[in-house]
Structure 1
Amino acid sequence: MGNQKTNKSEQTLEIHGKEMLSDYVTAVTWSPDGKTLAVCSAGGEVMLATVGTINELSWQPLQTATGKSIDCLSFSSGGQFLAAGGQDGRVQIWRADSGQLIANLDNQRVWVDKLAWSPNSNQLAFSMGRCVQVWNADDDVVEVTLNFDSSSVLDLAWHPVLKYLAVSGYQGVKVWSGEDWDEDPDILSVPSVTGVIAWDTSGQYLACGNMDNTLIVNEWGNIEPWVMQGFPGKVRELAWSDKTNSLGVPLLAASSSQGISVWERDADERVGWEGWALEVHENVVSAIAFQPTTFLLASAAADGKLCLWYEAEQLLQVLEGAEGGFSCLAWHPDGQFLAGGGCGGELLVWSKSMRGKGFGRR
């Protein structure tokens, strides 16, 4: 797999800082420039942290606990804005540098649990029951409402290069073109419910995790998708590596129940994708993510273990610190730091050995 392997000793992490929120940590995400970490909780908190020298986290609260969950966070591609959505149906947008609230989109009847900024513009897509709305920060206007029709929206994902927005739910995925929202969407049919979707970083592949215990990979321009079966339950989480193998194709990781499988494109078209299992977790896997520019895979689970998998194959390190289980994780854009959220409100940040160095040094 791949080309040059990374030295294992460079991959182990050590604790860098820890903080406590009032409730279950629902999401963590880094700004594109890596200078800021955003975190939110089931208690309604939204916080920004900057990470300095060892054991130092500097906090800026954007919202204190409200008693209503905030479930999703996203930085705009330029890092100028931070959006949050949750239980009260509001989508709030702050300026990331000043913490100023600049927009408050109120949809009281629905729970907003999915949102994402376009990688190419200041367009924010967010779920609204059976619909997705797209808000344009430059004009401060909701420019379109996309009706998924057949069910509630379960996930959404912008194409990383082209102006396309994929939306998943009952019977598959619909892909709308941002060049003309009025055009009928392309439909990727699934004889079940598609819960999670993820484009690879080039936009060539779209992975779909389904409720019928299957994983489907669609290749751009290829009519016939690949279907992977035999999962112990629905596919809950997906992650692509941004590093590619000798064929120029990234690895795909998928979690189902307490198991993780990793998939690699085979040179033989008849084989398609070959997979292998990573088994150590004893409870449901809540998050998986590849470290940027490597095949190092992190997995977090409700068993209180956050595991690092060398080359997405071999267990390298087990990180702890959330006794009630881990709920989410996020790699720093340059891979120097890993943030993990806990079911008891723990926020932990680990780092490569950077003694004496400030945050963000490259």
Structure 2
Amino acid sequence: MAERPQDMQWSPTEEVLAIALRTNIQIWNPFHNTSPLYQWELTATPITLNWSTDGHYLACAMCDPSISILHWSKLCHTNPVPPGPKELPALMRGFPGKVRRLAWADIPESDTSPMLAAATREVVAMWLLMPEKGWQSWMLDLHSQAVLDIAFQPKTGMLASASEDGWLILWQLGIEAMQVLDGAAEGFSCLAWHSSGQYLAAGGQQGELFVWSMVTDR
């Protein structure tokens, strides 16, 4: 490669590898090819990549700030035919600051309506692909300081957002706040769901470790 990779991520099926370079993103099948399967040019330097849980979509947050989303499952079946306008990556703009984290909802039977969350400054920007309408957006804005991490509970639409303000908010379907967890006096730094979805772990700015049970509330 002529450029230094900025980020890389295997697809959920581990069949292809997405690599973000300074000026483009390349998708490779390193087991069978010596050149990329697909490449698209970026409008700015990439920050992070994130595949949707079904591997149909690939999102890239960029420093300008914007997000580009590629519908890979549609495109991979059309190669080597050049992509048409509907297959080109969608570009989302209007974020208040750099996008720190990306997270896709892991909701069964959601193939036609993928949902993406993006942490930017003190808000979480939500995007939902609606049939015939395209990508629709809204903001979750209850935090008062920077949101440092976000993640969806496996197999549900519940989103957790951890912030420097000391709140960890659980959002039902990425729309409405249903619970606020606290305990980190100087704020939260990161979070992670257990694969069963029954436990949520979070780290505090002063080295604290919290684990909540979604069955017993604590």
- What TM bracket, shorter-length normalisation? 0.7 to 0.9
Q: Is 1:264 the counterpart of 2:117 in the alignment?
A: no
Distance 1:311 1:196 in 2: 24
Q: Is 1:164 the counterpart of 2:16 in the alignment?
A: yes
Partner residue in 2 for 1:320:
182
C-alpha distance 246-219 of structure 1, shift in aligned 2 (>3 A): closer
SS at structure 2 position matched to 1:299: strand
Partner residue in 1 for 2:61:
209
Shift of 1:260: 0.6
Q: Is the 8 A contact 1:340 1:348 kept in 2?
A: yes
SS at structure 1 position matched to 2:112: coil
Question: RMSD of aligned C-alpha atoms?
Answer: 1.9
Distance 1:245 1:164 in 2: 23
SS at structure 2 position matched to 1:243: coil
Distance 1:201 1:341 in 2: 24
Equivalent residue letter for 1:295: G
Q: Is the 8 A contact 1:266 1:272 kept in 2?
A: yes
Percent same amino acid among aligned pairs? 39
Correspondences of 1:1-362 after superposition (within 5 Å): 147=1, 149-151=2-4, 153-180=5-32, 182-184=34-36, 186-220=38-72, 221=75, 223-244=87-108, 248-268=112-132, 271-354=133-216
The structure showing larger relative contact order (alpha-carbon pairs under 8 Å, at least 6 residues apart) is 1
Shift of 1:202: 1.4
Higher strand fraction (1 or 2): 1
Partner residue in 2 for 1:358:
none
SS at structure 2 position matched to 1:218: strand
Shift of 1:252: 0.8
Partner residue in 2 for 1:75:
none
- In structure 1, the gaps of 5 or more residues are 1-146, 356-362
Q: Number of paired residues?
A: 205
Report the TM-score when normalising by structure 2. Answer: 0.87
Shift of 1:281: 1.2
Larger Rg: 1
Shift of 1:163: 1.9
